Amino acid sequence: QQQVKQSPQSLIVQKGGISIINCAYENTAFDYFPWYQQFPGKGPALLIAIRPDVSEKKEGRFTISFNKSAKQFSLHIMDSQPGDSATYFCAASRGGATNKLIFGTGTLLAVQP
Amino acid sequence: DTEVTQTPKHLVMGMTNKKSLKCEQHMGHRAMYWYKQKAKKPPELMFVYSYEKLSINESVPSRFSPECPNSSLLNLHLHALQPEDSALYLCASSQVQLAGINEQFFGPGTRLTVL
């Protein structure tokens, strides 16, 4: 119930294409869903996040789609660029004072020029 | 200042050494975290401090000892580590969870190698 399942494990996309990464969760108490981007040797950087009261959030080329009934959310990267090549982690947390993030297993994205 | 800084960037230590990792933030965040990350794996939570008090210890071995001297600083004291403890150690900070938002900001990490 505490897991967040992420797919695919790795993804190769051509420059200018759309990258799509999917996550699924079981715990309906989760109410905050961020995506992190991590380059090799660096710490994860918060990319975009969504609450379950909205179905979509867009920031620049990055969009989160959220399906509450299916307990799934996804990251779409439009017009993917070689600089987007990184590992992406979805995560989830639930309300309360624990501040605990549950991370997905990660997706290694390679955008080919 | 929206940055979490960590020192040192790299650390090599023997199994009998004692060393410390340091983390600092000046964003006024009152929650701070230590994570451990192995290659090709997600960050794994070790400790959470909330208002300078330890609120979560994820059953971490006692050879790892956290300390939060004030609201801006977080240390991780290391003693008698094992080679399997070699990893990237990440510090993060956030507001204490407010209205369901858990926006954690990560530092660049300390790459630890235990010989």
d(CA B11, CA B36): 14
Whole-Å CA distances, B67 to A44, B5, B77, B108: 23, 16, 8, 19
Q: What is the DSSP string of chain B?
A: ---EEEE-SEEEE-TT-EEEEEEEE-S---EEEEEEE-TTS--EEEEEEETTEEEEE-S--TTEEEEEEETTEEEEEEES--GGG-EEEEEEEEPSPBTTB---EE---EEEEE-
Q: Chain A contact for B109, CB < 8 A?
A: yes
Residue A98: its pLDDT value, please? Answer: 64
pLDDT, tens digit, 9 for 90 and up, residues A34-57: 999 999 989 999 999 999 899 999
pLDDT level of residue A96 (50, 70, 90 thresholds): low
Q: Chain B contact for A97, CB < 8 A?
A: yes
Of A37, A36, A21, nearest in space to A78 by CA:
A21
Q: Is a pLDDT exceeding 80 seen at residue B110?
A: yes
Whole-Å CA distances, B113 to A58, B26, B82: 40, 28, 10
Give the residue from chain A lying closest to B56, CA to CA: A98
Q: Chain A contact for B42, CB < 8 A?
A: yes
Q: Do B108 and A95 touch (CB under 8 A)?
A: no
Phi, psi of A80 (to 5 degrees): -55, 140
Residue A76 CA from chain centroid, whole number: 8
pLDDT level of residue B95 (50, 70, 90 thresholds): confident
pLDDT level of residue A100 (50, 70, 90 thresholds): confident
Q: Do B48 and A46 touch (CB under 8 A)?
A: no
Residue B74: its pLDDT value, please? Answer: 98
pLDDT, tens digit, 9 for 90 and up, residues A66-94: 999 999 999 999 999 999 999 999 999 98
Q: Is a pLDDT exceeding 90 seen at residue B102?
A: no
Spatial contact of A106 and A21, defined as CB atoms under 8 Å apart: no
Report the percent of chain B where pLDDT is more than 90: 83
Q: Do A43 and B94 touch (CB under 8 A)?
A: no
Rounded (5°) CA angle A42-B45-B36: 45
Q: What is the DSSP string of B22-54?
A: EEEE-S---EEEEEEE-TTS--EEEEEEETTEE
Across the range A19-40, mean pLDDT stands at: 95
Residue carrying structure tokens 């660049």: B108
Residue B103: its pLDDT value, please? Answer: 87
Residue B78: its pLDDT value, please? Answer: 96
Q: Is a pLDDT exceeding 80 seen at residue B22?
A: yes
SS3 A109: strand
Distance from CA of A78 to the nearest CA of B (A): 24
Q: Chain B contact for A49, CB < 8 A?
A: yes
Spatial contact of A109 and A87, defined as CB atoms under 8 Å apart: yes
Q: Chain B contact for A98, CB < 8 A?
A: yes
Across the range B44-49, mean pLDDT stands at: 94
